[in-house]
Amino acid sequence: MSLVIKVGLASCGLAAGAGEVYEAILKHIKKNKIDAEVKKTACIGMCFVEPLVEIYEEEKKSITYGDVTPENIGNIIDAFYKGNPIEENVIISNVFKGSENKTYKKQKRIVLRNCGIIDPVSINDYLGKNGYKALEKSVKEMSREDIINEIKDSGLRGRGGAGFPTGLKWQFAYNAKSEKKYIVCNADEGDPGAFMDRSVLEGDPHSVIEGMIIGAYAIGADEGYIYCRAEYPLAIKHLNIAIEQATEKGFLGNNIFGSDFNFELHIKEGAGAFVCGEETALMASIEGKRGMPSIRPPFPAQSGLWGKPTNINNVETFANIAWIILNGAKEYAKYGTEKSKGTKVFALAGKIRNSGLIEVPMGMSLKEVIYGVGGGMKTERPFKGVQLGGPSGGCLPAELLDTIVDYDSINKTGAIMGSGGMVVMDTSTCMVDIAKFFLNFTQNESCGKCTFCRIGTKRMLEILTRISDGNGKMEDLDTLEELSNNIIKSSLCGLGQTAPNPVLTTLKYFRDEYIAHIKDKKCPAGVCTSLLKYEVIEDKCIGCTVCAMKCPVNCISGERKQVHKIDQDACIKCGACYDACKFDAIKKG
């Protein structure tokens, strides 16, 4: 028998050791003369059990194993080869009951349709999955208006966060009269805690490129840019290969599919500035300037890159296009809610069991996403909150878990859908600390153009720092709200307009925690070090001296077999004693 063995080699897999597993497989099959084709693929989204290896003889009877190591892969392959596959570590399978079969079926994969299935650097793999068929249909059978109407009818909205209808955006760019137009893909995924775009670019770069070419044809652009952050070297590598292949096959270049449509595509690497995710700042950066946002109007559709009409969409938006053209707007609009159609990709991270990438139909409740698809909490501690939308979003408490996932429902809570980062937190996370964390981020990343964003966020960060140090006053909470509202009103771009959201939502849903910091001088989660105190519980201490040996500042005293004591003035609250004590004799609070 002849086997196919696929290894997930995206950034997340590589970090988990998939590279070593790949080498071990090659060695093993060579040594044991096993007839197998070893293929590379990217991320199927189940990062929590990486490295992942899929094995099959016929594709219908495949088994995906998780937590694979160079040591156990030999046995897995041998057993499969002998027709007696191992049942341990099975993640997805249509032979056995895979542990994730059920949660996998709850997803609807449109954007991620090929991720973790095809070899991302093989254009033939992509062509085998109807690749570039949508482009052919667009150019040969559809008029520009037809394409725009199809996208409008599908109800697709911008997946970068703001949710502007994509078809309408294309219409504006199409309407603009100009000899030269540009199309741009925003791949500057800067939200900490979000990695959807990275996975799509690494795992299926052609789907994004095909979406861009169709968009360019529809609006009448002949040149395009993919603006990708430099922190994603593998995504950039795969994009470069894909562009070269598409050019070779004639999907890029002159007279595409024998028409008079020409299109040239470039990659621009970002240089590390979060604000460049904002479209006017992104264009400034492509032009080689400081990435500072500019006032709108004029909108990019009228005057964008180098003053020419420009259409900008996000990676995930473009990855939807080919599917919509091939399957029709009606089919796409079957999924989702009245005003938010289709599916959304989420990056699940934090204290969730199945961390990784998922794609679900809009309209699913947060509870279903976190507990149904995400497998619930990773730790024994209870759920405390979920952070949506990164630094522009907000933290929602357990009471709001019935909120459904669509643009409008999430906006009502004060958070935003954002690009799709979902960080789950348990009771070990302090909400004041999280608000401070995000403010620190936006304050650092503020480009400095607008006074309220530049100075306002700084003042807010100072207040939050004061509160977490135990020096806060109750009036501070009102000041935070007042500053927030003014920053929202007086900032030019999305960064400033949304920067206060993490503070506003935590103030709204976790106000008690702020009050505990201010009035009781306590951090209920035990995170804010200034408010922490480590004490020896006398009844439990047996005098083993381990804590005293571990203490980096030698502030724990006591004789062997005697109760120890911590000198509170000298203690730096590092927690080394707390972690070291085997008898739970150190109290943190």
Decide whether 187 or 242 has the Cβ nearer to another protein: 187
Residues 495 and 428 sit within 8 Å (Cβ to Cβ): no
CA atoms lying within 13 Å on the CB side of residue 299: 9
572 makes contact with another protein (CB under 8 A): no
Q: In the bound complex, what is the minimum distance in angstroms from residue 137's beta carbon to another protein?
A: 33
Q: In the bound complex, what is the minimum distance in angstroms from residue 348's beta carbon to another protein?
A: 8
Decide whether 233 or 250 has the Cβ nearer to another protein: 233
Q: Which of 7, 47, 73, 364 binds another protein (CB under 8 A)?
A: 47
Q: Which of 108, 109, 206, 268 binds another protein (CB under 8 A)?
A: 268
CA atoms lying within 13 Å on the CB side of residue 360: 24
Q: Which of 271, 474, 537, 553 binds another protein (CB under 8 A)?
A: 271
Residues 203 and 10 sit within 8 Å (Cβ to Cβ): yes
Decide whether 290 or 458 has the Cβ nearer to another protein: 290
Site string for another protein, 190-209 (x = CB under 8 A): xxxxxx--x-----------
Rounded CA-CA distance 39/127 in Å is 16
Q: Which of 83, 258, 288, 297 binds another protein (CB under 8 A)?
A: 288
Restricting to residues 388-417, which ones interact with another protein according to CB under 8 A? 390
Q: In the bound complex, what is the minimum distance in angstroms from residue 170's beta carbon to another protein?
A: 24
Decide whether 290 or 473 has the Cβ nearer to another protein: 290
* First vs last C-alpha separation in the chain: 62
Rounded CA-CA distance 561/542 in Å is 6
Residues 129 and 118 sit within 8 Å (Cβ to Cβ): yes
Query: What burial class does residue 88 get, using C-beta atoms within 10 Å of its C-beta: 0-12 exposed, 13-18 middle, 19+ buried?
Result: exposed
Q: Which of 77, 208, 239, 349 binds another protein (CB under 8 A)?
A: 349
Please name which of 235, 421, 239, 424 lies closest in space to residue 345, comparing C-alpha atoms. 421
Q: Which of 25, 273, 435, 464 binds another protein (CB under 8 A)?
A: 273
Q: Which of 54, 100, 125, 189 binds another protein (CB under 8 A)?
A: 189
Decide whether 230 or 474 has the Cβ nearer to another protein: 230
Helix (H, G, I), strand (E, B) or coil at 111: coil
419 makes contact with another protein (CB under 8 A): no
Q: Within its chain, how far is the Cα of 486 from the centroid?
A: 29
User: Which two three-digit tokens encode residue 408?
Assistant: 């409008």
Q: Which of 175, 306, 331, 512 binds another protein (CB under 8 A)?
A: 306
Please name which of 524, 500, 520, 496 lies closest in space to residue 510, comparing C-alpha atoms. 524
* Alpha-carbon separation of residue 370 from 217, 377, 387, 411, 565 (angstroms): 39, 8, 12, 19, 43
Say how many residues touch another protein, by CB under 8 A. 55
Strand partners, 186: 227, 314
Q: In the bound complex, what is the minimum distance in angstroms from residue 233's beta carbon to another protein?
A: 7
Restricting to residues 229-248, which ones interact with another protein according to CB under 8 A? 230-233
The alpha carbon dihedral of 111, 117, 118, 121 has a sign of positive
Please name which of 110, 105, 116 lies closest in space to residue 134, comparing C-alpha atoms. 110
Q: Which of 285, 310, 413, 446 binds another protein (CB under 8 A)?
A: 285
Decide whether 167 or 270 has the Cβ nearer to another protein: 270
182 makes contact with another protein (CB under 8 A): no
383 makes contact with another protein (CB under 8 A): no
Choose the stretch contacting another protein; rule: CB under 8 A; options: 33-41, 81-89, 93-101, 262-270. Answer: 262-270
Which amino acid would we find at residue 388? L
498 makes contact with another protein (CB under 8 A): no
Choose the stretch contacting another protein; rule: CB under 8 A; options: 20-28, 45-53, 59-67, 503-511. Answer: 45-53
Output the DSSP codes for 527-544: --GGG--EEE-TTT----
Q: Which residues contact 409 (CB under 8 A, 6 or more apart)?
A: 337, 403
Decide whether 325 or 503 has the Cβ nearer to another protein: 503
The runs of H, that is alpha helices, within 446-555 are 451, 457-468, 475-490, 494-498, 501-509, 511-518, 546-550
Q: In the bound complex, what is the minimum distance in angstroms from residue 563's beta carbon to another protein?
A: 28
Which H or E run contains 103? helix 101-105
User: Which two three-digit tokens encode residue 352?
Assistant: 């969730």
Choose the stretch contacting another protein; rule: CB under 8 A; options: 85-93, 321-329, 343-351, 534-542. Answer: 343-351
Q: Which of 5, 8, 9, 11 binds another protein (CB under 8 A)?
A: 11
Q: Which of 87, 287, 462, 478 binds another protein (CB under 8 A)?
A: 287
Decide whether 99 or 327 has the Cβ nearer to another protein: 99
351 makes contact with another protein (CB under 8 A): yes
Q: In the bound complex, what is the minimum distance in angstroms from residue 570's beta carbon to another protein?
A: 18
Q: Which of 63, 91, 286, 362 binds another protein (CB under 8 A)?
A: 286
Restricting to residues 421-450, which ones interact with another protein according to CB under 8 A? 421, 423, 425, 428-429, 434, 437-438, 441, 445, 447
Q: In the bound complex, what is the minimum distance in angstroms from residue 420's beta carbon to another protein?
A: 12
Phi-psi region of 449 (alpha: psi -120 to 50; beta: other; left: phi over 0): alpha
Choose the stretch contacting another protein; rule: CB under 8 A; options: 78-86, 89-97, 122-130, 420-428. Answer: 420-428
Please name which of 137, 125, 60 lies closest in space to residue 327, comparing C-alpha atoms. 137
The values of phi and psi at residue 313, to 5°, are: -130, 165
Residues 527 and 437 sit within 8 Å (Cβ to Cβ): no
Q: In the bound complex, what is the minimum distance in angstroms from residue 423's beta carbon to another protein?
A: 5
- Where does 188-299 show beta strands of DSSP type E? 223-228, 264-269
Contact set with another protein (CB under 8 A): 11-12, 14-16, 47-48, 50, 189-195, 198, 230-233, 268-274, 285-291, 306, 347-351, 355-356, 387, 390, 421, 423, 425, 428-429, 434, 437-438, 441, 445, 447
